[in-house]
Amino acid sequence: MTDAELLQAHAEGDPDAFGELVRRHRDRLWAVALRTLGDREEAADALQDALLSAFRAGRGAAFRGDAAPTTWLHRIVVNACLDRVRRRAARPADPLPEHDVPARGDAVGSRLTGIDVEAALRTLPVEQRSALVLVDMYGWSVEDAAQVLDCPSGTVKSRCARGRARLLPLLRDGNPEPAPDVPPQTSPSHDARQGGEPS
């Protein structure tokens, strides 16, 4: 069955369909949550919250089917991460070993040689961090990342450019110092936070 067929089966009450859909994509969803939050416990909690939200939304009207199931799932996970960042007080987190989440051999990932990837990412505002994780580290197109982040493509490009610019000094001196996350100017729509498409 395709992802869309699994989600449809879940909506119709199949008790196993959602579990199979999650099994297919859990590793990537976990990696995105971990890279976005930089903390294993926070990422696990955010992923659990997101999957529960997705399970419920997939049974109701919140999922309207105008996005691919993978895009829809990633949007719920990213929103769960952003919500958690907004709620928590800034606090240091232990760096994660590079081998825990394999990154693509892309522009940013390959240039972070010799410094801790998570520590470097934690220096960025969370909106820039989430854009870089999707586009530079996991190979999403700008357009797909924009769907996940519920913002225009131009905003994703701007966040990536600003994030890369902020990382450049760290690549030179190899001594990232975490900075507090900057809350976004606008928050995702209520529907998007609950797993639906933006209104």
Q: For residue 74, what are the contacts with CB-CB under 8 A and spacing of at least 6? A: 28, 29, 32, 134, 148
Q: Tens digit of pLDDT for each residue in 102-137? A: 444 444 444 444 346 667 778 888 888 899 889 988
Which tens digit of pLDDT belongs to each residue from 41-67? 989 999 999 999 899 888 764 555 557
Beta strand residue intervals within the chain, DSSP E: none
Percent helix, strand, coil in the chain, to 5, is 65, 0, 35
Which residue from 134, 13, 24 is spatially nearest to 77, judged by alpha carbons?
134
pLDDT at res. 23: 93
The model scores a pTM over 0.85:
no
Tell me the one-letter amino acid at 64. Answer: R
- Between CA 157 and CA 94, with CA 73 as vertex, the angle to 5 degrees is 75
Nearest CA to 84 among 49, 59, 109, 56? 49
Mean predicted lDDT score pLDDT of the chain: 74
Q: Is 167 exposed, middle or buried (0-12, 13-18, 19+ CB in 10 A)?
A: buried
- Name the residue among 71, 20, 17, 1 with its Cα closest to residue 9: 17
- Reported CATH class of domain 3-91+100-182: mainly alpha
